[in-house]
A and B are shown apart, each in its own frame.
Chain A
């Protein structure tokens, strides 16, 4: 899931200060699970803004709503009138949701209410941790199901480095050393041979470094977009 956290309220208040009618839109997907932009958080943000609004004698109206998945146009379309009726939209979804609205309604100003953090998982109540950076070439079958690209501070392919201290990362001693964990896991599985060989340089071109990515599934596209014959093969 995408893990995000709310921007500081002062920053949000400053962004929306010049506007009168503000639509705050949350999302019921990832950001609801990570308690950043679900129903409850949207209401809380709006009431905090209202309080600030009264204190500073601004005349602002806040409309709050939550969509199923803000990164999908179909769900956003359902609240189109609320978007078009507002002076400004405050998105309480991840950056993908905010950008979806911004791209669909280019004449509208959309503000991000959240800082989008990472691809991660809920570890326990109230704790989320990063586990993937979307490099586009998964190698965790070689590393005991633990991603060194995301979980090692230096994205090492042949760790652990000399700073692995009692199984913790030198960059943050509260965090486990990914390569220590990989070693322990593979030892348990009697597969240490997997990391005995020198891992070759990683090809980063499948990741963001190769430029912005789009994935196209020709077979899944609607007919009018589908390429035919030779064109499809290319």
Chain B
């Protein structure tokens, strides 16, 4: 065991894992976090706390993690390289581990141009892969980037994201290989809508033997409207939404229900895909729907290791 997190135990037992997301509020009010933690407890193995996603200022992911842990819910803290240099990243990793955080997701981070502080000076001292390698060295050897060796290194389970739908497509498997070499234990993928393309990526991943080295959580994203599907297709770089999915959402008499149905169907397919060890449900600003999706996709009950 690297960190002994709930998520790590699920993978260790060879069980199909479920992670979901809780978006921290744009305020100092912890209540939305406790509310979601209470509502979602038991419906996924761990929950990502996003780190100022899309570069919008929010309650910090580490503080959010602490708040949901008080409710007995396991966090995965996201740590981007956009806002912190190596001093702050390593310091926050020590701090998070000291608070009891066991899962850390290493991300390069969305550029500040997408957020609400466009005039910000970014950092990008690392990218997600150097961040992984640095955190991996810190947890295994207790050695910082600068070479200092510390006592009581952080015991963390390290994750990353990967987008099979970004160009060049042929390089995405190789890039995941770099993340695995850098120390990733698990990977959450970008939301999958083009199942055929995801299969192709998985073929490459399996051919490289990466499915044996890293636990792959396939990303799914329930949609509420056809407009959302269109928006993701046209406006979100690195997202591919096939027309048949947009059509299906458009023709649906109840798009919300159709979105849930579609998501459940996707999970059913992913559950049978070789090398996929779990799903990551990204119900962005729709956290309430996670219990229903988990239930209808046959993902319940979640294992307990108490």
Contact = CB atoms under 8 A, between A and B. Distances in A.
B133 A200 contact: yes
Interface in B136-164: 145, 161-163
Contacts of A198: 129-130, 133, 178, 181-182
Contacts of B168: 160, 164, 167, 180, 183-184
Interface size class for chain B?
35 or more
B167 A162 contact: no
Nearest to A168: B237
B97 interface: no
A158 interface: yes
B178 A196 contact: yes
Contacts of A154: 81-82, 108-109, 111, 122, 124, 127
A192 B109 CA distance: 25
B108 to A, nearest CB: 5
Q: Is chain A's interface secondary structure helix, strand, loop, or mixed overall?
A: loop
Interface in B61-104: 81-82, 86
Contacts of B238: 162-165, 170
A229 interface: no
Given A170-B238, A198-B133, A201-B86, A161 B166 contact: yes
Q: Nearest 8 A-B pairs (CB), nearest first?
A: A162-B163, A165-B237, A170-B237, A158-B129, A156-B127, A164-B166, A162-B166, A163-B237
7 contacts: A154-B111, A158-B130, A158-B175, A160-B168, A163-B166, A196-B178, A202-B125
Interface of B: 81-82, 86, 108-111, 113, 122, 124-130, 133-134, 145, 161-163, 166-168, 171, 174-175, 177-178, 181-182, 190, 237-238
Interface of A: 153-168, 170-171, 173, 177, 180, 183-184, 192, 196-202, 204
